[in-house]
Amino acid sequence: MRAIVSSNRDVVIAGGGLVGLATAWYLTDAGYGVTLLDAGHVGREASWAGGGILFPIYPWKYSPAVQALAQRGRALYPAFTADVDACSGLDSENRQTGLCVLDTSEMASGNAWADDHSEPTRMLTGRALRAQFRGVTAEHALWFPRAAQVRNPRLCQSLYRALGRRGARIITQCTVTGVRTEKGVFAGFETARGTVPASRGVVAAGAWSSRLLSSLAPQAVFPVRGQMLLLRGEPGLLSSVLLQGGRYVIPRADGRILVGSTLEFDGYDKHTDVETARSLRASAATMCASLAHLPVERHWSGLRPATHDEQPLIGQVPGVPGLFINSGQYRNGVLCAPSSAELLRDVIVREEAVAVRAFDPARILQTKPNATSTPG
């Protein structure tokens, strides 16, 4: 690996998922020189596996801080994808398709949340519902017409190309093995291919973030497996995202339908199973009868990065000046990627420890990480 000379405007990011890529985008925009490291290829873990809904799953169930982060993500996305795609020449397919909540038990809470946030909604019932969304089996739906979606694998590729054109250095197949400090201050990441020095570092390794910070809290960020199905349909079969019982169907522009997702606490195991595939198919057919007989094109799983209080870690790692973390977005990683990146950029630019107290890493991380230290 070619030697990298560190300066006080250099940042090295460990993790090439959507949160890491978005962090790199916002930092290059602020004038920082960025090196991004990924153990495999960028955007191939949870950022590839997720559905790309740009609307929280039942937003009224989240803390006020997470709701605010999600709403900021929604506000940023149109310009974010437009700017990235203009730089890359690719299309991330950011489309406003709307989202229908079909759970009768959630409609009162959903309406109250919408009123509090000036979010347009429509209550659809019976024949009017089925006239607008063919095949939907529910008798009632709360429709959020401004909800959008993005083709998250394409957004990752767009960011990868755009960052290269901006001058960021992206090193793939490069496993980060530890943190290097000098006199207690962050000095770089140790990797299987050598040391990558920088004056600032960001841990954005998703479900694997705790492995880099194991002595602070071994399970500060832990994996939650989600299995997904891809059904092969025709364009126009379904026009809106549907949500019921914590599961969803997402129509893509090419007619394919994503069905998700499970919540499985099984460590770093990414296996899939036939029983879950059947369960996901049944959920899709329950929401929309038109999906019942579509062929399955693919079945996969991904590992979401979760925290015990379901709030992300965004800010400085306690006890290690110059080292930051941006992880733990859980089911909102795609949606909150730009808002989380914006928040961390502000922390770094303003030389603060944290911007939002609820996301302070110090609430979970208490001691210094295992580090290679040199007396400098």
User: Tens digits of per-residue pLDDT, 268-284?
Assistant: 999 999 999 999 999 99
Dump pLDDT digits (tens) for 144-188. 999 999 999 999 999 999 999 999 999 999 999 999 999 999 999
**Where in the chain are the domains?**
10-48+154-220+309-374, 99-146+222-306
Q: Hey, CA dihedral for 340, 346, 352, 356, is it positive or negative?
A: negative
Which has more confidence, 355 or 157?
157
In three-state secondary structure terms, 223 is strand
Of 17-31, 37-51, 53-67, 288-302, give the lowest mean pLDDT range: 37-51
Nearest-angstrom CA–CA distance, 348 and 358: 17
Residue 188: phi and psi, rounded to 5, are: 155, 175
Question: 99-146+222-306 — its CATH code?
Answer: 3.30.9.10
pTM over 0.85? The answer is yes
Statement: residue 93 has pLDDT above 60: yes
Nearest-angstrom CA–CA distance, 68 and 59: 10
Sequence letter at residue 182? E
pLDDT at residue number 39 = 94
Question: Domain 10-48+154-220+309-374 is of which CATH architecture?
Answer: 3-Layer(bba) Sandwich (3.50)
In this chain, the answer to whether the domains covering 10-48+154-220+309-374 and 99-146+222-306 adopt an identical fold is no
